[in-house]
Amino acid sequence: MFRGAVHLCAGRGHLGRRLSTLRGGSALGKVEGTGGHHGSGVPPVSSCVTFRTWDPGRAGQTVGQLGEGGWAGKVSEIKKTLQSVLPGGAWNSLYDTSHLPPEQSDVVIVGGGVLGLSVAYWLKRLEKQRGAIRVLVVEQDHTYSQASTGLSVGGIRQQFSLPENIQLSLFSVNFLRNINDYLAVVDDPPLDLQFNPSGYLLLASEEGAAILESNVKVQRQEGAKVCLMSPEQLRNKFPWINTEGVALASYGLEGEGWFDPWCLLQGLRRKVQAMGVHFCHGEVTRFVSSSNRMETTSGEEITLKRIHEVHVKMDHSVEYQPVECAIVINAAGAWSGRVAELAGIGKGPPGTLQGTKLPVEPRKRYVYVWHCPQGPGLESPLVADTSGVYFRRDGLGNNYLGGCSPTEEEEPDPENLEVDHDFFQNKVWPRLAWRIPAFESLKVRSAWAGYYDYNTFDQNGVVGPHPLVANMYFATGFSGHGLQQAPAVGRAVAEMVLEGRFQTINLNAFLFSRFFLGEKVQEHNIF
């Protein structure tokens, strides 16, 4: 049956395409938004093709029957009913084929996490004409069980050392503040981002104080509201901190805190779906590309590649569906290194551009949740200690969560997402209790682990096209701050795709070529 469905779909691509002008336009376009529909007059062929072949003609007539007066309201009711019945709604059909990708798409985005969705959003938003670009998002796991987005702690800050990172976060905080303007969908309730504007408090030791101070200077220049605090001030404001060994602290006054990452993810998903982006549930397993041998002026031979087709392996099936495309966006998070390899990136003699890998790999990070009746109160910000340990309040009931990045030698095996509780006992708790004496008695309630999309080269994002595989664009490698920067990065990538250059924020420093040239753009504030 499944096989049949795949083949059937394959024959349908250009039709869906021909009608794509209707997409997003009619209310019924929504129906099509998850699949694509036949032109009127093409009879439905098989019993296993369900709503994909919804005929707008007949559907329209059903609506027509409802009569004249006030039918705009009725229309929206019908629309809702249809949506509730359709994939993504509560109802699920056994023969639902809507998860199959279209045969062609202008842009294929690998990874439906927050970065992939943000790119999709900005592509649709910045397109010159409604419905001009067909965008497909391929996500292998619609439960997002391992995706970093849902497993993050949802923090946003401007306390970075690089101007680019500060600008990205400032843009994003503005986006998040106006999220219900950006991501408003007619008839859907507003999003509740649950933003806690409690700020970040970074502590620095004697050695770190000078760097902290110069970082704050840069942050202020960029427009972030950050202040410096002496240990004395710290004791007055947050008496629960032991200031021993703290020489200086920086504290974010505005636009810093934490929010619900799921809300952002779902909000983006809902919006891009309403904008006509296609979703499909499957794994990208292969790229079909053509190569072109060329010689540089210096006589060096290089191979330029172009991806023509993306193979999407459907879930629980050996079938794959080829999708013809013009542009591929690699937003596969912690797995983007692997996806890059599929496109042949890094497969060449070492030291050459061809042999330069995308240095992004999964790194396991633990988050522990504990209860401490005597712990810091409502005023408590997210505190990042000199030792690298961080924590924040979680709700009102004296619950806290936090963790610590392991050293390079301690890096746990990223094979699975099991939590190492000894790590808390031996590495996190002692430092935590030293800094916040109240945490000497606490009770760990739960814990989880997630993957950082870790850029081993310089812990910063990778944005923009690959120099050789010229139609693969990256939006990855943000090593623990990708969630908060996603709204801005999505825009940057979309600008690069549509205009060929960064317009809002200049991210030339984050281009792939730095790996080959060995130019690190080091971010000091990673924890």
Partner 1 sequence: MAAPRASLNLVAPVWNGVTKSIRDLSSSVAPKGSQKKGKRLLQFLADRFYDVEALREYLLQKQVSKVHQENRSFTYIKERYGPYVAGAYFVLKQGGAVKFQGQEWIQSSGRRPSSLELLSFQAVPVESVDASDCAINYEGLDNLLALKELQSLSLQRCPHVDDWCLSRLYQLADSLQELSLAGCPRVSERGLACLHHLQNLRRLDISDLPAVSNPGLTQILMEEMLPNCEVLGADWAQGLKSRPEKQSQDTASPTPA
Ligand X SMILES: Cc1cc2nc3c(=O)[nH]c(=O)nc-3n(C[C@H](O)[C@H](O)[C@H](O)COP(=O)(O)OP(=O)(O)OC[C@H]3O[C@@H](n4cnc5c(N)ncnc54)[C@H](O)[C@@H]3O)c2cc1C
For partner 1, the binding residues (CB under 8 A) are: 22, 25-29, 40, 44, 46-51, 53, 55-65, 72, 74-78, 81-82, 84-85, 91, 93-95, 177, 181, 184, 186, 194-198, 253-255, 257, 373-375, 377-379, 396-398
User: First and final CA of the chain: distance in angstroms?
Assistant: 49
Identify the CA nearest to 34 among candidates 77, 94, 86: 86
- Smallest separation, CB 151 to partner 1 (Å): 21
Query: Residues 387-422, buried b or exposed e (16+ Cβ, 10 A)?
Result: bbbbbbbbeeebbbbbbbbbeeeeebebeeeebbee
Three-class SS of residue 523? coil
The set of long-range contacts for 243-247, using a CB threshold of 8 Å and a minimum separation of 24, is: 245/205, 245/206, 245/386, 246/203, 246/204, 246/205, 246/386, 247/204, 247/205, 247/206, 247/208, 247/209
* Residue nearer to ligand X on the CB measure, 451 or 473: 451
Measured distance CA(431)–CA(439) in Å, rounded:
10
Among partner 1, ligand X, none, what binds residue 77 when CB lies within 5 to 8 Å by partner kind?
partner 1
C-alpha pair distances (Å), 312 with each of 140, 337, 435: 9, 17, 50
| CB atoms near residue 163 (< 10 Å) | 15
- Smallest separation, CB 335 to ligand X (Å): 4
- Smallest separation, CB 69 to ligand X (Å): 47
Q: What does the per-residue mask of binding to ligand X show for 84-113, with x meaning CB under 6 A?
A: --------------------------xxxx
Measured distance CA(476)–CA(464) in Å, rounded:
10
Out of 9, 86, 109, 151, point to the residue binding ligand X (CB under 6 A).
151
Please give the sequence-ordered ranges of beta strands (E in DSSP) within 207-277, or none if there are none: 226-229, 248-252, 257-258
* Residue nearer to partner 1 on the CB measure, 94 or 318: 94
For helices 56-64 and 71-85, give the axis angle rounded to 10 degrees: 130
Instruction: Give the chain's length.
Output: 527
- Smallest separation, CB 94 to partner 1 (Å): 6
- Smallest separation, CB 380 to partner 1 (Å): 8
Among partner 1, ligand X, none, what binds residue 82 when CB lies within 5 to 8 Å by partner kind?
partner 1
By the rule CB under 6 A, 405 interacts with ligand X: no
Out of 122, 451, 457, 474, point to the residue binding ligand X (CB under 6 A).
451
Q: What does the per-residue mask of binding to ligand X show for 314-343, with x meaning CB under 6 A?
A: -----------------xxxxx---x----
* Residue nearer to ligand X on the CB measure, 22 or 419: 419
By the rule CB under 6 A, 362 interacts with ligand X: no
Among partner 1, ligand X, none, what binds residue 145 when CB lies within 5 to 8 Å by partner kind?
none
Out of 453, 458, 495, 523, point to the residue binding ligand X (CB under 6 A).
453
Among partner 1, ligand X, none, what binds residue 480 when CB lies within 5 to 8 Å by partner kind?
ligand X
- Torsion sign (Cα): 354, 338, 100, 8: positive
By the rule CB under 6 A, 510 interacts with ligand X: no
